[in-house]
A and B are shown apart, each in its own frame.
Chain A
Amino acid sequence: MFRNQYDTDVTTWSPAGRLFQVEYAMEAVKQGSAAIGLRSKTHVVLGCVNKANFELSSHQKKIFKVDDHIGVAIAGLTADGRVLSRYMRNECINYSFTYESPLPVGRLVVQLADKAQVCTQRSWKRPFGVGLLVAGLDESGAHLYYNCPSGNYFEYQAFAIGSRSQAAKTYLERRFENFTDSSRDDLVKDAIMAIRETLQGETLKNSICTIAVVGVGERCHILDQGIVQKIIDTFEIAAEQEGPAAEPDAATGQETAPEQGDAAVQGGSTDEGVAPKDI
């Protein structure tokens, strides 16, 4: 996209009927590291790629528990995402307090969308630069929504946002018809595989991805890294067809040897077992 003379203000239309500031905000989402979500009839799984800007730093938190029955994964300006998560948590707590029942996901995403829309129609504001994958459970079942900076929201069976998300989307498109009846564990496996697609050659290890699950009878929670590593190992072993590449150290998820047949591309850090700093 080249610079336009109608893109300085969010309150200026272009002659073609576009709001460029809003579209630029959606670009910011595409620049963030990938986040994916998929759902079955009873469970929703969120996953994200943990990208640290520098080798020495920790990665940013991109998956937030909003309530026992709602979780959110973000891509884009993580600061905006953090603020919106806080808003969502507040809304859930207030609704629970007043009505003694959980806030239906569908209501929450509408409130989020309306909040985003406000920022597209005020000259002193800017649109949020973050896309949110909202995963939740309510009386009508499991839901996955995507909230745009534009103020639109859509419900999905499976979706991926952020950089290199097209690879994950392609993977999900091929398999989404099976998701409705998938078991919870298969869903988690598919989520990790989808994340692997976005890595495009980087080694898949538990330090590079975070997975959260919410489902019927299962409160929203982030999966322990040891468990994630175990799941990674099951399909790495199947893929390799030669003896297991690594004995996982559950606590830190270190790898003893890089996979054979891996390209010269080494995943991010030279320090292999860096456990992501979780706040």
Chain B
Amino acid sequence: MTKQQANWSPYDNNGGSCVAIAGADYCVIAADTRMSTGYNILTREYSKICKLADKCVMASSGFQADVKALQKQLAARHLIYQHQHNKQMSCPAMAQLLSNTLYYKRFFPYYSFNVLGGLDNEGKGCVFTYDAVGSYEKVGYSSQGSGSTLIMPFLDNQLKSPSPLLLPVQDAVTPLVEAEAVDLVKTVFASASERDIYTGDKLEIVVINADGIRREYMELRKD
């Protein structure tokens, strides 16, 4: 008598890639807009980016139904926070909340690979990167999703500081200027679209800085 196996899975992977880069006074968050299942494309115009608070934006790839549920949860919790504290949540606070929310479902996880980007209380850019169950770290840049194996090494090459042990102590945030960072993101996605079949169609870029939030789009390969 062999063990019974499920003949269906509660999860699906809708593909796509996300990237976030932190700067001295800005943060760039980007994701492609392709949603797929298996070898098929469901839509070319689906946004994986969600604004959680005034200075805090999340991009998530993975199973979009779980991503949507996660975004709604966080939005509701943020509303409660605003009622109680009369102000918006800061990015680091939201980062912790996201981690707790993910771990809450440790034994039936959200199939969602997230990067959180925004400005911290002092106006400096910050990026947090997560796994599916809430383990997170503050970093200077990160990528998640189907193209992350292609994107991450390239970002390391361009942005990685030599070693955190070196003196003088180097900031995690990149010395790049905002325009350079946006350019880098466009380059990175153009390259990822070449080799990753799940990444392409259109690139959505969100930039947060002291002036607020701005959105930009760029066409990517449709194949």
- What residues of chain A have their CB less than 8 Å away from a CB belonging to chain B? 65, 86, 89-90, 93-94, 96-97, 278-279
**A93 neighbours in B (Cβ, 8 Å):** 76, 79-80
- What residues of chain B have their CB less than 8 Å away from a CB belonging to chain A? 72, 76, 79-80, 83, 86
Q: How many residue pairs at the A-B interface have CB separations less than 8 Å?
A: 15
**A97 neighbours in B (Cβ, 8 Å):** 72, 76
5 closest A-B pairs by beta carbon, nearest first, are A93-B76, A89-B83, A97-B76, A93-B79, A97-B72
Contact A96 B76 (CB under 8 A): yes
Contact B83 A65 (CB under 8 A): yes
Q: How far is the CA of A96 from the CA of B76 in the complex (A)?
A: 9
Having A97-B72, A279-B86, one finds 13 other A-B pairs with CB under 8 Å, namely A65-B83, A86-B83, A89-B79, A89-B80, A89-B83, A90-B80, A93-B76, A93-B79, A93-B80, A94-B76, A96-B76, A97-B76, A278-B86
Smallest beta-carbon distance A223→chain B, Å: 15
Question: What's the dominant secondary structure at chain A's contact region?
Answer: helix
Smallest beta-carbon distance A165→chain B, Å: 27
**A89 neighbours in B (Cβ, 8 Å):** 79-80, 83
**A96 neighbours in B (Cβ, 8 Å):** 76
Q: How far is the CA of A65 from the CA of B84 in the complex (A)?
A: 11
**A94 neighbours in B (Cβ, 8 Å):** 76
Q: How far is the CA of A49 from the CA of B203 in the complex (A)?
A: 53
Task: List 10 A-B pairs, Cβ < 8 Å.
Answer: A86-B83, A89-B83, A90-B80, A93-B76, A93-B79, A93-B80, A94-B76, A97-B72, A97-B76, A279-B86
Q: Who on chain A is nearest to B85 by CB?
A: A279
Q: How far is the CA of A90 from the CA of B72 in the complex (A)?
A: 14
Q: How far is the CA of A65 from the CA of B86 in the complex (A)?
A: 10
Q: How far is the CA of A6 from the CA of B68 in the complex (A)?
A: 56
Q: Who on chain A is nearest to B75 by CB?
A: A97
Smallest beta-carbon distance B175→chain A, Å: 39
Q: How far is the CA of A170 from the CA of B76 in the complex (A)?
A: 42
**A278 neighbours in B (Cβ, 8 Å):** 86
Smallest beta-carbon distance A224→chain B, Å: 14
Q: How far is the CA of A65 from the CA of B72 in the complex (A)?
A: 21
Q: How far is the CA of A97 from the CA of B76 in the complex (A)?
A: 7
